[in-house]
């Protein structure tokens, strides 16, 4: 059987990862090829997120558009997955009875069977249960698409922050077996992958069982992943401050493949708000982790998540967040206005902060981080950066593009046979969203293929 599959993904990297695994799975089971054009697809899937905003509204307005296509093509199969599906389950069918499949973040591995049932019986199927680890045993090995890959190592969350739906939609924390993760990384390395990003809602809460029954923590996992042949760069996201053990801090002194960049969500700089959020740490504890990390890596860059306008956040609370941002020097962070999520404890709290004030605070916070990020980029000018070349510059396809350790896109002239390898690049110029540079090694520069610019000095795009 063949056909085309279109997946629209809302939300975080976890959802992007799930969508790519769904595409691999349905390709293997039913030969479905992924397409970027929904109008030509036979199967339309929405992978939803309910962490923020009016997620349900977005889902139903998208489904409304697809409904018209289904009226013209009744064979079209429409599915809804992810956190909204997990929360709403069968309720989705009340408002959108033309949906064929509803699946949760922990049941997408059952899609081939659900799809068959829909094709054979032509009635909607719903499976939003939490069968946990079974999922990974049922997924095909990930397809290698370039030198970078994501590997999910743990799922779910048991922290129950007062504002967040994730523990309810994705279930409690559980870790994949240690040997399974290492095998997957090994296979990726054999396929030419050089950089892996270990993924999890709280990835550093990882506690995987080894074949001999002993437990490996996240520090062990990083050491073993970095030792896999071919893997030269290791990242992870998202980590939680309460799971940031001293063993994990020490890995920064032991594993050079681990990048000097950490995404460590802090949410607020006010201890009063942190306690109401049930984050389980204080700003002093957070900064202590940062200090210890910088003891091993003075150049460490830190990004974070912030929530602005949590119920009852005062000017003083907000100022403390701005102060923390300056003290830590956060780089390129994710910040959002608090949005009350149905079923979470914080949704019951009185919220006297006017929406306009929340907007103002968000703009100020983002401007503060933007200007710190800009000065970090400026300070990189003249430095030499290790870059994994993963494609061509978006603006100038005659130039190569890659990422620095601190996650900045850098474009530079160079021969296309460098694609997929690490190179050293001098940073020449810093822009808002990218850097421009030139290859650092004389040898590489002189070996350039004439088709692409062959200057080793900085030159305009
Ligand atoms: N594990 C991460 C941590 O340590 O906080 C969080 C993962 S959560 C899925 C991603 C981000 O969504 C959070 O860090 C938070 O900033 C944001 N978020 C979650 N619930 C939110 C809400 N109700 N309103 C606004 N932002 C929210
Ligand atoms: Fe959400 Fe807090 Fe977990 S933000 S994902 S409940 S760590």
Among candidates 380, 390, 389, 392, which has minimal Cα distance to 429? 380
For residue 16, give Cα distances in angstroms to 22, 46, 99, 150, 168. Answer: 10, 11, 22, 10, 20
CA 265 to ligand 2 centroid distance, Å: 10
DSSP string of 99-135? --EEE-TTTGGGHHHHHHHHHHH-S-EEE----TTHH
Q: How far is it, in rounded angstroms, from Cα 140 to Cα 31?
A: 13
Q: How far is it, in rounded angstroms, from Cα 245 to Cα 220?
A: 12
Q: What is the pLDDT of residues 60-108, one digit of tens each?
A: 999 999 999 999 999 999 999 998 998 888 999 999 999 999 999 889 9
Q: How far is it, in rounded angstroms, from Cα 423 to Cα 435?
A: 15
C-alpha dihedral sign at 47, 188, 410, 364: positive
pLDDT band at 450 (very low <50, low <70, confident <90, very high): very low
Residue pair 194/388 in contact by the 8 Å Cβ criterion: yes
CA 95 to ligand 2 centroid distance, Å: 29
Residue 314 pLDDT more than 90?
yes
DSSP-based three-state secondary structure for 349 = coil
C-alpha dihedral sign at 109, 41, 13, 394: positive
Choice from 52, 153, 311 to test ligand 1 binding pocket (greatest atom count within 8 A of CB)? 52
Q: What is the pLDDT of residues 148-169, one digit of tens each?
A: 999 999 999 999 999 999 999 8
From the CA of 335, give the closest atom in ligand 1.
Answer: 16
Beta bridge partners, 411, equal: 401, 436
Residue pair 430/374 in contact by the 8 Å Cβ criterion: yes
CA 307 to ligand 1 centroid distance, Å: 8
What is the pLDDT, as a whole number, of residue 132?
62
Query: What is this structure's pTM?
Result: 0.91
**CB neighbour class for 396 (10 Å; exposed up to 12, middle 13-18, buried from 19):** middle
What is the pLDDT, as a whole number, of residue 13?
84
Within a 10 A sphere around the Cβ of 247, how many other Cβ atoms? Answer: 13
CA 446 to ligand 1 centroid distance, Å: 48
From the CA of 341, give the closest atom in ligand 1.
Answer: 23
Residue nearest to atom 5 of ligand 2 (CA): 166
Strands 233-237 and 334-337: unpaired
């Amino acid at each position: 059987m063949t056909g085309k599959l279109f997946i629209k993904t809302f939300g975080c990297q976890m959802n992007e990862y799930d969508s790519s695994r769904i595409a691999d799975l349905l390709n293997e089971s039913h030969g479905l090829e992924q397409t970027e054009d929904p109008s030509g697809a036979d199967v339309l899937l929405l992978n939803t997120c309910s962490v923020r905003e009016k997620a349900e509204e977005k889902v139903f307005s998208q489904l409304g558009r697809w409904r018209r296509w289904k009226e013209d093509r009744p064979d079209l199969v429409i599915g809804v997955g992810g956190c909204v599906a997990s929360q709403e389950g069968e309720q989705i069918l009340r408002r959108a009875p033309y949906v064929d499949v509803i699946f949760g973040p922990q049941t997408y591995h059952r899609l081939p069977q659900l799809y068959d049932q829909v094709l054979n019986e032509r009635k909607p199927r719903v499976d939003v249960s939490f069968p946990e680890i079974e999922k990974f045993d049922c997924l095909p090995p990930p397809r290698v698409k370039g030198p970078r890959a994501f590997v999910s190592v743990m799922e779910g969350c048991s922290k129950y922050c007062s504002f967040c739906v994730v523990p309810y939609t994705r279930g409690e924390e559980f870790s994949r077996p240690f040997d399974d993760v290492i095998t997957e990384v090994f296979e990726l390395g054999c396929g030419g992958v050089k950089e892996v990003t270990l993924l999890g809602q709280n990835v550093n809460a990882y506690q995987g069982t080894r074949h001999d029954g002993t437990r490996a923590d996240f520090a062990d996992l990083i050491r073993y992943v970095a030792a896999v042949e071919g893997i030269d760069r290791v990242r992870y996201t998202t980590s939680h401050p309460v799971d940031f053990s001293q063993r994990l801090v020490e890995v920064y002194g032991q594993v050079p493949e681990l990048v000097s960049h950490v995404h460590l969500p802090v949410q607020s700089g006010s201890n009063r708000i942190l306690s109401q959020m049930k984050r389980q740490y204080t700003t002093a504890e957070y900064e202590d982790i940062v200090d210890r990390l910088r003891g091993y890596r003075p150049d460490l860059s830190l990004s974070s998540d912030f929530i602005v306008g949590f119920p009852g956040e005062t000017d003083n609370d907000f100022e403390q967040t701005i102060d923390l941002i300056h003290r830590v020097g956060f780089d390129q962070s994710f910040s959002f206005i608090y949005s009350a999520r149905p079923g979470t404890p914080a949704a019951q709290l009185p919220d006297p902060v006017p929406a306009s004030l929340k907007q103002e605070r968000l703009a100020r916070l983002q401007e503060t981080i933007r200007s710190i990020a800009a000065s970090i980029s400026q300070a990189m000018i003249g430095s030499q950066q290790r870059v994994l070349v993963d494609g061509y510059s978006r603006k100038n396809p005659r130039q190569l593009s890659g990422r620095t350790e601190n996650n900045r896109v850098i474009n530079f002239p160079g021969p296309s046979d460098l694609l997929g390898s690490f190179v050293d690049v001098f940073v020449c110029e810093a822009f808002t969203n990218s850097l421009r540079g030139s290859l650092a090694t004389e040898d590489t520069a002189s070996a350039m293929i004439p088709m692409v610019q062959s200057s080793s000095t900085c030159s305009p795009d």
